């Protein structure tokens, strides 16, 4: 099973709402990633977890709060978002976090978020 699943597929939220995005993989991968992708742009790294610990935070605003409750699950908690946060949020996983980066990343289908 080489699948990364994400829920929900679509999310519309107001600027005062609190919501969460969920990502799951059962490949035994120990590195998990959140990316943000705007239309016709490349994925931009937001967070990386390695062995359930936050390894990289790309100076993401605190209204985005990641959580890795176990090795298979990754959540992204959203609060007080702005309309400019509307984007496709992609989750990915890889066998491990390594440098040089020798492991391919498996991406989920993404959650399309609209902030109104």
Interaction site with another protein (CB under 8 A): 4, 31, 40-45, 48, 50, 55-56, 90, 97-110
| Complex with another protein: residue 78 or 97, whichever CB lies closer | 97
Q: Taking the complex as a whole, how short is the minimal distance between the CB of residue 108 and another protein, in angstroms?
A: 6
Of residues 73 and 88, the one with the C-beta less far from another protein: 88
Cα separation, 45 vs 50, whole angstroms? 14
Cis link prior to 46 (omega < 30° from 0)? no
Which residue shows structure tokens 């409750």?
69
* CB 15, min distance to another protein, A: 26
Pairing relationship of beta strands 87-94 and 111-115 according to DSSP bridges: antiparallel
Spatial distance between the Cα atoms of 21 and 80, rounded to a whole number of angstroms:
14
CB of 81 to another protein, least distance (A): 22
Closer Cβ to another protein, 59 or 70, answer by number? 59
Token pair 């991968």 is found at 29
């Amino acid at each position: 099973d080489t699948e990364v699943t994400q829920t929900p597929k679509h999310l519309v939220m107001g600027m005062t709402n609190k919501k969460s995005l969920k990502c799951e993989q059962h490949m035994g991968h120990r590195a998990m990633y959140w990316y943000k992708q705007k239309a016709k742009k490349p994925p931009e790294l937001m967070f990386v977890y390695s062995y359930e610990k936050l390894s990289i935070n790309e100076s993401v605003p605190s209204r985005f709060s990641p959580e890795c409750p176990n090795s298979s699950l990754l959540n992204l908690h959203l609060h007080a978002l702005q309309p400019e946060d509307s984007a496709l949020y992609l989750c990915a996983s890889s066998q491990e976090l390594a440098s040089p980066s020798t492991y391919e990343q498996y991406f989920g289908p993404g959650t399309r978020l609209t902030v109104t």
